[in-house]
Amino acid sequence: MEKELYRIEFAERIPLYICRECGGEVFHGEVYYDVAGRLICRDCLPHFARRYFGGCRRVLKTPEGCR
Ligand SMILES: [Zn+2]
């Protein structure tokens, strides 16, 4: 029984994926994002999204004469 528990705990500490942004490991039960085949960890998502969607960025300009 103890041996089985050790086996399960050990398996949970083997990283399944490596984040494409930071190189960090993603383990069993952790959240990650598959963005068009790029695996991104939760911590890197905001930074990645800003860069990935950078071309979609717009600034709404105030119309002339409005304050
Ligand atoms: Zn990352």
- Residue-wise pLDDT for 45-58, tens only, equals 999 999 999 999 99
Residue 15 pLDDT: 79
- Residue 64 located in a structural domain: no
pLDDT at position 9 over 70: no
What whole-number distance in Å separates Cα of residue 63 and Cα of residue 41? 40
Domain with 11 in it: 2-55
What whole-number distance in Å separates Cα of residue 41 and Cα of residue 3? 31
Residue scoring higher pLDDT (13 or 41): 41
- Residue 67 located in a structural domain: no
Count of domains for the chain: 1
Measured in Å, residue 33 CA sits from the centre of ligand 1 at 10
Measured in Å, residue 56 CA sits from the centre of ligand 1 at 22
- Residue 19 located in a structural domain: yes
At 37, is the pLDDT very low, low, confident or very high (cuts 50, 70, 90)? very high
- Residue 11 located in a structural domain: yes
Measured in Å, residue 42 CA sits from the centre of ligand 1 at 7
At 25, is the pLDDT very low, low, confident or very high (cuts 50, 70, 90)? very high
